[in-house]
Structure 1
Amino acid sequence: MPKRKNERKPLSFTTTMRNPERIVSFLNCLIDFEGKILTNDLIYDIIKNILSKKIYETVYQRNNKKYKHIYADESLDYTDEDLKDIIKNSSQNHKESGFEKGWPSRFDTFYKFSKELGFVYYEINKKIEISESGHLLIKTLGKNSDSTKLLSRVFLNAMVKYNTNNPFRRNLNSNTPLVLTLETINILKNNYNWEKSGIYRHEIPFITCWQNNNSSKLAEFINSFRIKHGKKPSNETVYSLCLELLESDNTKRFKINQILNEGVDDFIRKFRITGLFSLRGMGNLLDVNKFEIDKTEYVLEKYNNQEIFDDEYKFYEYMGQIDENFVKIPSNYIQYNINEIRQRNLEKWAKDLTKDEIYQELKVLGNKNIASKHTVLKFIDGPIRFEFLTSIALKQHFPSVDISPNYPIDDEGMPTFTAMGGIGDIEVYSDHDRVLVEVTLIRNRNQGSIEIPAITRHLKSIVGVNMKIYSIFIAPIIHEDTKYMIGYTKNRYGLNIYDYTIEDFVKSISKFEKLSDFCFDN
């Protein structure tokens, strides 16, 4: 089949790996195969590894009672024979260029975006390579504040270099989207008299369809659009202008939903994880995060005129090199009252969303098969969102109690990472209680060994305070090993940890009148 000729196409990162954290899980499955020659036989070994780690589920597994049960239970593992059977009976009607139809092509689908971002390089009959940035990304697999920050830095390193017309794409549009966006926001702010800084959600398609790196022209285009169409243009108006930018009238090739919804969501998700951007106005406005101004200025100075690569491997090498300045440049927190910003935003969300809305969002986190559809919450990584939603729920139900989450924030007060190690996720104070609220999405046997010793240390550090001291521990499920370790903490140190599944927490908090009602040994 002849290759499709180059054409103008909207920016589209991937439909398979929408969640950046999912990329990490897949990349981790390649560690044992680094340096090995990629063959179809090796691909099947890699696929077995992916299936064994339960980060991909086939239709055959979902329709098989035994395999479905194993997939759902984190304490159970597939045998080697199970994995062979799943692969054999899961036909992959899929073909990618350079790979045989079936699982080899599915492998390429899993990893091609990681390859494009410079995390890994592979070709049939060549050694698998994992780059410097790829290895750093794999280190972020453990969910804690340090790993989440590192993940943000690695994606920032990739996104500032990413070009729409890189060797892995055939696109007549050629720009560096992240740099183009930052420059356009600055020009709109400095050269045009608009009340609010940033790019409106409905204007993002103009960036994803823009032809080049001319940010001045793009800012002028958006300014004229605002004057003519206002802040609430019709979808059809935006779509029509995007097709003009793409020099196309092919509505089947470039669907309205793809450009105005899917592409925008993916754009926000990938860019927000870099830490340089904040969402304002309940997700309607994308702006520069003031806490990261120094990094933003560095990006605009160093990456505003980048080399265009024709060779895939050279592009991979460029993308895979880490710019250490993204780690060295500190965030600009000193001039701001972080706690005040965090509390103000928490109170706003507790007021703007109903209790039932928070309940439903918490339940989403407890179900691996459901995704949030909220215009802002869907862009927040699960563990971070869990801390945020739990803080909101506590604030709504106990307004007179001091609810103090410890998650880092952007300049809107929205959480950017999970709480740092050494402190509780959420500290709660009433007249008589001092409570550590700890949350995790870990479901397997590691849940207890990772979470309970840390909670015990936190509780021991505040023993002696003339208040009732205890912890509330919340997870999608409570593993049996966790219950055992909670019992050990009680018997060894006399410290109470009250465990709740997300479902039980939602049911209980709706009925409780005071904080101590969580203590089910009362």
Structure 2
Amino acid sequence: MASITDKKTIFFVTSPRSPDKLINEIRTLVENFEGEKWNEKTQKDFYLHLSKQDFFKGSTTGDLAFKARDRINRAPKALGFVDLSPVIKLTNAGKLFLTGKRSEEVFLRQLIKFQLHSPYHTDKNDAFRVKPYLELMRLVYELGGLSKHEIGLFVIGLTSYKKYDDVKSRILDFRKEKSGLRKRKVSYKQFIAEEFEKELSRLFAEKIKGGEIFIRQNKKQSLGKFIRAKKSNHLDYSDASIRYLRMTGLFSMNPRSSKVYVLEERKKDVEFILENTPRDIFKYKNEDDYKTQLFAATEPKLFVDDKERIISKILRKSNEFNTGELEIKTTEELKDIYKSILQKSLTELVENEQSKLKDYEDFDDVDEVFSSITNREAVDPSLFFEWNVWRAFSMLDDGDIQGNFKVDDDGVPLYTAPANTPDIVCKYKDFDTIVEVTLSSGQKQYEMEGEPVARHYGNYRKETQKDVVFGIFIAPKLNDAAVAHYYALYRINIEHYGGKAKIIPLSLDDLKTLLKNAYQSKKRPKAADIKTLFVHLSDLALSTSSEKEWRQKISETVQGAFIQ
């Protein structure tokens, strides 16, 4: 139980940061600890058990019980997938989430039901009366989308649904001000900084006036540090809220503007939710009463729970079926048909995207997305880095370039590649290349990516039995230990990795240089040119005296690659 009494803002669930991790983490909890009390011992044991799973990303140092609570007490408990009192138990909603075919529908229902206040988040003043995700959906729908900054600036103050019109008005005023920046010769960065200072000063006026501007990490009073800390927190909530909305399958995002919007095909679904879901919070008698409605797996009803509405969707998207043959199908069968139609459309969309990339039509756009990621402007930067590297290789190569990330119905990336699979696989006639990417840096890069990248490389060689396989490791900044690791792997015959591992470390600048050279070349590179380059870059590990010299030679070679 947490208190939100006297808080000035709402919050969105931030742990796990990427909601696609929920299923694996909840399954690990209930399969190993269901029926036990959720106390410090089980929390530590759970976290240690979790850390041994292939999908785990995190640290095993520090307060492990706290880290376990951070992962389970937030989204899994708050959204009603698990009950932690009196003992650990999977709820009906949790069971359907883990075992059902349509986890996104279950997730959507639980998001809609999340409310402030509740027995999980108590408010003695009864000031909080809002379903945060429901009102966020409403704003996204009515305003044609919301940016990360708009959510962090204004939606975060929507503590009651009765404040909705005021928040909406503030966003419209903000957009009007933003539209005149060029005329006033004010940069967007400066404008956003000023808006956050103004809005946060308004929201926390009482605290500031009373001198209550301490921040957890620093006991010294400083208004500037207080504003910066609150801004960072609000943007974290904003980032997470967009990720969670997108997991419902109803929303997508513009990777350049970080603006979340309703998918055109799903507008009816959103309209149904907004028209049929009560805006006021559920009036519970006690915690058990609240849990009963929260844990219900099939409530509230969704647009696609009605056969006639699904049939209408199918007939609008495809001429392969007639009304008669669809009416004899069950609701679940109709949902399967609709999903297959959307998947077919998505496949065509991705193929068209790759066709444009191979013609270098999106060269400037790829470069722009890389810039937004390195400038820390993107929502879910790791995901979009993986996607944009796939776009870069699709542009650069003439092979079959497959990204293992999942995309939404608009072809925008939704989740990163699952554990134990390469991020990207490039297939050619006489060789393959697996590509692994990361935004991590320093020692963390080596710890997180050193062995897994080599393992993915070795597994791929064993599974495909390909004679020639290259590994490409890409990061904005390469860690010396990671480079040394890959340098050694090519000089030592290790059976576990399929022999000598040809894993080539490239910085983001290296990749951008290759793209630029290929774009400006009179003759675009073909598979044979790619292979020649990769053979040379990997063989440099044998002709250089150290990993530092190897890294330097790679960059020097890249500078002149594909120039004709």
TM-score range for the pair, normalised by the shorter chain length: 0.5 to 0.7
Which residue number corresponds to residue 351 of structure 1? 364
Secondary structure in 2 matching 1:293 = helix
Which residue number corresponds to residue 181 of structure 1? 136
C-alpha distance in 2 between matches for 1:386 and 1:509: 13
**Structure 1 position 130 matched with structure 2 position 104:** no
C-alpha distance in 1 between matches for 2:266 and 2:455: 33
Candidates 113, 125, 134, aligned match of 1:161: 113
C-alpha distance in 1 between matches for 2:93 and 2:292: 10
Secondary structure in 2 matching 1:163 = coil
C-alpha distance in 2 between matches for 1:227 and 1:505: 36
Whichever residue aligns with residue 49 of structure 2, its letter is: N
Which one scores higher on RCO, CA 8 angstroms, separation ≥ 6?
1
Q: Is the 8 A contact 2:116 2:281 kept in 1?
A: no
Which residue number corresponds to residue 72 of structure 2? 111
Which residue number corresponds to residue 219 of structure 1? 168
**Structure 1 position 256 matched with structure 2 position 227:** yes
CA offsets per residue over residues 202-233 of structure 1, 9 Å max, x none?
A: 32131121133355554344324433564754
Candidates 273, 278, 281, aligned match of 1:299: 273
Whichever residue aligns with residue 131 of structure 1, its letter is: T
Which residue number corresponds to residue 531 of structure 2? 516
* Deviation of 1:256 (Å): 3.2
Q: Is the 8 A contact 2:255 2:384 kept in 1?
A: no
Q: Is the 8 A contact 2:16 2:71 kept in 1?
A: yes
Which residue number corresponds to residue 271 of structure 1? 245
* Deviation of 1:249 (Å): 3.1
C-alpha distance in 2 between matches for 1:292 and 1:154: 16
* Deviation of 1:415 (Å): 1.8
C-alpha distance in 1 between matches for 2:345 and 2:45: 52
Distance 1:247 1:156, change over 3 A: same
C-alpha distance in 2 between matches for 1:508 and 1:247: 45
Q: Is the 8 A contact 2:43 2:69 kept in 1?
A: no
CA offsets per residue over residues 455-481 of structure 1, 9 Å max, x none?
A: 529x8xxxxxxxxx965555788899x
1:235-246 mapped onto 2 (5 Å cutoff):
235-241=193-199, 244=202, 246=203
Distance 1:229 1:129, change over 3 A: same
* Deviation of 1:47 (Å): 4.6
* Deviation of 1:262 (Å): 2.9
**Structure 1 position 202 matched with structure 2 position 161:** no
Structure 1-normalised TM-score? 0.61
Larger helix fraction of residues:
2
Q: Is the 8 A contact 2:354 2:391 kept in 1?
A: no
CA offsets per residue over residues 263-314 of structure 1, 9 Å max, x none?
A: 3223233333333333326134222233543543443344354651544444
Which residue number corresponds to residue 170 of structure 1? 122
C-alpha distance in 1 between matches for 2:266 and 2:468: 36
Whichever residue aligns with residue 206 of structure 2, its letter is: D
Which residue number corresponds to residue 376 of structure 2? 374
Whichever residue aligns with residue 412 of structure 2, its letter is: M
Secondary structure in 2 matching 1:7 = coil
Secondary structure in 1 matching 2:252 = strand
C-alpha distance in 2 between matches for 1:504 and 1:407: 21
Whichever residue aligns with residue 270 of structure 2, its letter is: T
C-alpha distance in 2 between matches for 1:444 and 1:426: 14
Q: Is the 8 A contact 2:150 2:171 kept in 1?
A: yes
Distance 1:507 1:167, change over 3 A: same
C-alpha distance in 1 between matches for 2:462 and 2:266: 30
1:301-380 mapped onto 2 (5 Å cutoff):
301-305=275-279, 307-310=281-284, 311-323=286-298, 328=335, 330=339, 332=342, 337-338=348-349, 339-341=351-353, 344=356, 350-352=363-365, 354=367, 374-376=376-378, 378-379=379-380
Distance 1:116 1:228, change over 3 A: same
1:61-72 mapped onto 2 (5 Å cutoff):
61=61
C-alpha distance in 2 between matches for 1:273 and 1:134: 16
CA offsets per residue over residues 134-163 of structure 1, 9 Å max, x none?
A: 4566679xxxxx9xx84x555434322222
Distance 1:500 1:134, change over 3 A: farther
Q: Is the 8 A contact 1:136 1:154 kept in 2?
A: yes
Larger Rg over CA atoms: 2
Which residue number corresponds to residue 464 of structure 2? 456
Secondary structure in 1 matching 2:119 = coil
Q: Is the 8 A contact 1:35 1:127 kept in 2?
A: yes
Q: Is the 8 A contact 2:423 2:435 kept in 1?
A: yes
**Structure 1 position 33 matched with structure 2 position 46:** no
Distance 1:334 1:504, change over 3 A: closer
User: Unpaired runs of 5+ in structure 1?
Assistant: 62-89, 93-102, 141-145, 189-196, 362-371, 460-468, 489-496
Whichever residue aligns with residue 211 of structure 1, its letter is: T
C-alpha distance in 1 between matches for 2:139 and 2:366: 32
C-alpha distance in 2 between matches for 1:110 and 1:16: 6
CA offsets per residue over residues 11-70 of structure 1, 9 Å max, x none?
A: 223566434355555432453110123455444433543455575535xx5xxxxxxxxx
Whichever residue aligns with residue 77 of structure 2, its letter is: K
Whichever residue aligns with residue 127 of structure 1, its letter is: V
Q: Is the 8 A contact 1:405 1:427 kept in 2?
A: yes
C-alpha distance in 2 between matches for 1:247 and 1:52: 43
Which residue number corresponds to residue 548 of structure 2? none
Distance 1:394 1:12, change over 3 A: same
Distance 1:508 1:23, change over 3 A: same
C-alpha distance in 1 between matches for 2:510 and 2:178: 46
Secondary structure in 2 matching 1:249 = helix
C-alpha distance in 2 between matches for 1:167 and 1:12: 16
C-alpha distance in 1 between matches for 2:193 and 2:508: 40
C-alpha distance in 1 between matches for 2:417 and 2:355: 15
Distance 1:242 1:473, change over 3 A: same
* Overall identity of the aligned pairs, in %: 17
CA offsets per residue over residues 454-510 of structure 1, 9 Å max, x none?
A: 9529x8xxxxxxxxx965555788899x9748759xxxxxxxx98536559997997
Distance 1:297 1:272, change over 3 A: same
Whichever residue aligns with residue 219 of structure 1, its letter is: K
Distance 1:508 1:483, change over 3 A: farther
Which residue number corresponds to residue 120 of structure 1? 82
Q: Is the 8 A contact 2:461 2:469 kept in 1?
A: no
Distance 1:256 1:344, change over 3 A: farther
RMSD: 5.2
**Structure 1 position 288 matched with structure 2 position 262:** yes
Distance 1:273 1:39, change over 3 A: closer
Which residue number corresponds to residue 75 of structure 1? none
Distance 1:472 1:242, change over 3 A: same
CA offsets per residue over residues 385-430 of structure 1, 9 Å max, x none?
A: 565243234246x367775657553466422246899x99767588
Which residue number corresponds to residue 20 of structure 1? 19
